Structure 1
């Protein structure tokens, strides 16, 4: 019925907003902004009507959650970095019907998920920043999914991603994009050193690790990457414990995925963290393969929350 047309791992660094404003940082993140606009252009070209964002800034302590209100509008100031994002205007349509379908099918696949279609809950900046550049004209409907998961297993997040693809392809008459919104390594610069690390990664180890991960993505080494994901999330300080990435790869077929990533915005450092915009081609999968692939590869995962 429906189509998952585009999948991507995207940055949402708040310095992209600073890059718009007059001052010393003006223009400094234009490459990341241009990457978002290119991904938005591709979505339009593919006929995408709805973007689903796995948002690693939406912290939850139980269940998975889908923010699918009918409309989102407001001014956003980051509680984490209010000197980076302050009074940033946003507005875009939501999609309650699809949000409810996504949650229902996730529950069918034994991943407890709640849809919030009548809520005052606003999206986090893992959704707001990308939509600022991809969806300026409010062309796309937007759904946000919690991906900063404090007490969750990565295998459940992978299964959620697969269930959401099944929801789109089996129960929705439209075209959707999935975005994993989060960094690679996410070790912020120590307090007092932030200006020195504005365009750097915190350590040579983390930078080298991130570069190897991007190389694996470009080479299509998914079995190896899925096998190392829990340890990478822990030792590599992965943002949101890398649940957004597990969701995205679950949707694509997990370790059986056979695509190769295309880097849109080359890897860069931001406040100590490692960032990239990369598109993962959506390839066909046989539905009966994925539950076994996810189960056999991920059932042994230790909760990242207990590893730290």
Structure 2
């Protein structure tokens, strides 16, 4: 039986990447980076093998979608902020069984949810930024869930959450659940 062993809300602000490079904001996001390291250390200590990330930058127009690919490998440039995130290499294993189970459990609750295993379906930066930092402390499989709430009702989101819990418990995975949000949607012009 699987288990949800840890949950966190974390930032995915692109300036975390810029904070690691020489320049005017070098070091300014170190506290956020350290927070991601700490989440990963706790996950490792608890035996987590998979992280499910609710990604607010995976924009969808209908239903919920789960990126359940067995492997995610590529080079990412943000379409929203190419000046901030460009040529970000990533390589993570996925957990297709858990992703498929999330969609199955959600559909049983009348929440339109599709699981996808498509090589061409890339991860978005709401998943990639947390994974970049957390993977430095602990290697985990990843399942990404589209969580752009402007098209989702609160009730459907609640039922999706129930489905995620039920899917985890029906799996053989120990899971970290991340709500990946920017924590502030003030976007500065620079």
C-alpha displacement of 1:35? 0.3
Distance (whole Å) between structure 2 residues aligned to residue 113 and residue 19 of structure 1: 36
Match of 1:182 in 2: 181
TM-score where L is the length of structure 2: 0.95
Q: CA deviation at 1:61?
A: 0.5
Cα distance in 1 between the residues matched to 2:142 and 2:104: 18
Question: Structure 1 residues 137 and 72, CA, compared in 2 at 3 Å: closer, same or farther?
Answer: farther
Q: Shift of the alpha carbon at 1:55?
A: 0.1
* 1:119-151 deviation per Cα after TM superposition (whole angstroms, max 9, x unaligned): 411110000000001013771000000011442
Structure 1 residue 62: Cα displacement: 0.8
Distance 1:34 1:187 in 2: 22
In the alignment, structure 1 residue 111 sits paired with structure 2 residue 111: yes
Structure 1 match to 2:161 = 161
User: Larger Cα Rg: Structure 1 or Structure 2?
Assistant: 1
Contact 1:2 1:173 in 2 (8 A): yes
Q: Taking structure 1 as reference, are residues 152 and 114 closer, same or farther at Cα in structure 2, changes over 3 Å only?
A: same
Q: Distance in 1 between matches of 2:110 and 2:186?
A: 33
Aligned to 2:3: 3
In 2: Cα distance, 1:182 partner to 1:188 partner:
13
Q: How many residues align?
A: 190
Unmatched segments (≥5 aa) in structure 2: none
Is the 2:99–2:115 Cα contact (8 Å) retained in structure 1?
Answer: yes
Structure having greater relative contact order (Cα 8 Å, sep ≥ 6):
2
Aligned position for 1:268: none
Residue number in structure 1 paired with 2:171: 172
Partner-residue secondary structure (3-state), 1:28:
coil
Does residue 41 of the first structure (1) align with residue 68 of the second (2)? no
CA deviation vs aligned residue, 1:156-186 (integer Å, no higher than 9, x gap): 11110111101111x1112001110003442
Q: CA RMSD in A?
A: 1.4
